[in-house]
Structure 1
Amino acid sequence: MADLITAGLITLGWRERLALPQLGIGMLKAKLDTGARSSSLHVDTLETFRREGATWLRFTIHAGRRQPLEICCEAPALDRRTVTDTGGRRTERWFIRSEVQLAGQQFSVDINLTDRRHMLFPMLLGRSALSGRFAVDPARSYTQARPLTAATDLR
């Protein structure tokens, strides 16, 4: 039965490198988590502002172990939703929609912005983003080549 479900899907490992080109992020390590519904991106700062009558989000991401790097991003707010984390805690988080490049594909994903500094990966790609596109083999890691973009690498 599992073969029928994953037939025709690209099989990825539990961790992969992806790009968020709309945010200027050329490479980011992500955990692929079929147990999480939504996708999350680590942000260090987050503020809302108005632009042309719409709510926008301005946020920064610090990354790079060898050379600390700060990326400043802006994106229109998609909405604010309640998210339940693995510990059962419910919090309201801002969501954006952004293009993701992974395994030679580019697709749009809803991503919540949160503090993930104590997590191993700055991004978690949840099952809503994976469904119908990819199968995840938890025994594999980094099965794909690094994304090919001119944006900043966050390792």
Structure 2
Amino acid sequence: MTRRFCLRCVVTLVALQLASTGCTPHFLLATRDDKVLLNQMLDQEKQQLEQLDRLASRLESMQDDLVVNQSNTIADLQQRIKAQDGYLKELHEKLAKLDGTISALQQNRSAEVIHFNDTQNRAVAEGADSIVKQVVGAVERIFISPPGIILAARIDTGATTSSIDARNVEPFERDGKRWVRFEMIDPENNNPVIMECQVVRKTKIIQAVTKEKERRYVVELVITLGNTTRTAEFTLADRSHVEFPVLIGRNILMDSMTVDVSKKFLSVPILDR
């Protein structure tokens, strides 16, 4: 604006000088050229000023947009921080409730265990006279009838079923039913005893060494262990490579016998002959 004002003043002074001196036509022609030149300079200055004004307006607009964007960004960050604080507070509350629930469960569990132990102790004390489990050792002698021989047996609480040493197993059919013929070794004279039993079922056994599956016959035998005589299922297997010809599993031990693995031969077969 200052430069524009100065140019206008110059033009005005030149015009006044021309009017006061009464110049010749030649001088007036030169003055007109100067006036044209001055007008051109004024137009250029005007254009430059307009460009500067537009640039200033643009810069001002960009500055305003930047301020607005920064304000929006700050507001968004503040909102996110507030939401995060709320979420953390909610998590702390949930953790506190969870701690309380765990403590309550632990207290209830302790109370249940105490109650169960008390109930079990009372039941044992009340039923001690009426229910007495037979105590057997890690190794016992069992009587098998038929064929009427006594064999050494390893007691194994980890085995689900029982098994017995059977050699030369031959399946056959009798009256439309599956039977099996096999040999048992009498330890008194080391002679084979031939047995024939009806097949109850066949079971799959996984070999511990080869991991291969083997199907074996299952039969029922009458055995006497201590003062207990019962019919139980036995898997027929060649046990010539192990120390004991019979293995007694949980199907015989359950609910009637207690095992003391530190002792052997606690129960002598009681035979009714």
TM range (shorter): 0.7 to 0.9
Residue 197 (structure 2) aligns with: 75
Structure 1 residues 104-143: aligned runs within 5 Å: 104-143=227-266
Alpha-carbon distance in structure 1 between the residues aligned to 2:223 and 2:203: 21
Residue 216 (structure 2) aligns with: 93
Unaligned runs of 5+ in 1: 151-155
User: Are the aligned partners of 1:19 and 1:149 in contact in 2 as well (CA < 8 Å)?
Assistant: no
- Which amino acid is 1:19 matched to? F
The change in CA–CA distance for 1:136 and 1:86 in structure 2 (over 3 A counts) is: farther
TM-score, normalisation: structure 2: 0.49
Deviation digits for residues 59-114 of structure 1, max 9, x if unmatched?
A: 002242x6321100000000101124555553211000111111111111110001
Residue 133 (structure 2) aligns with: 9
User: Are the aligned partners of 2:181 and 2:196 in contact in 1 as well (CA < 8 Å)?
Assistant: yes
* Farther off after superposition, 37-46 or 23-32: 23-32
Residue 58 (structure 1) aligns with: 181
Residue 144 (structure 2) aligns with: 20
Residue 267 (structure 2) aligns with: 144
Alpha-carbon distance in structure 1 between the residues aligned to 2:221 and 2:183: 15
Alpha-carbon distance in structure 1 between the residues aligned to 2:165 and 2:270: 19
RMSD: 2.4
- Which amino acid is 2:135 matched to? T
TM-score, normalisation: structure 1: 0.84
Q: CA offset at residue 127 of structure 1?
A: 1.1
Q: CA offset at residue 142 of structure 1?
A: 0.4
Deviation digits for residues 25-65 of structure 1, max 9, x if unmatched?
A: 3311100100111100011210011111101010002242x
Percent sequence identity over matched residues? Answer: 23
Which fold has the larger relative contact order, with Cα–Cα distance below 8 Å and residues 6 or more apart in sequence?
A: 1
- Higher normalized helix content (fraction of residues): 2
Query: Over alpha carbons, which structure has the higher Rg?
Result: 2
Residue 170 (structure 2) aligns with: 47
Alpha-carbon distance in structure 2 between the residues aligned to 1:85 and 1:25: 30
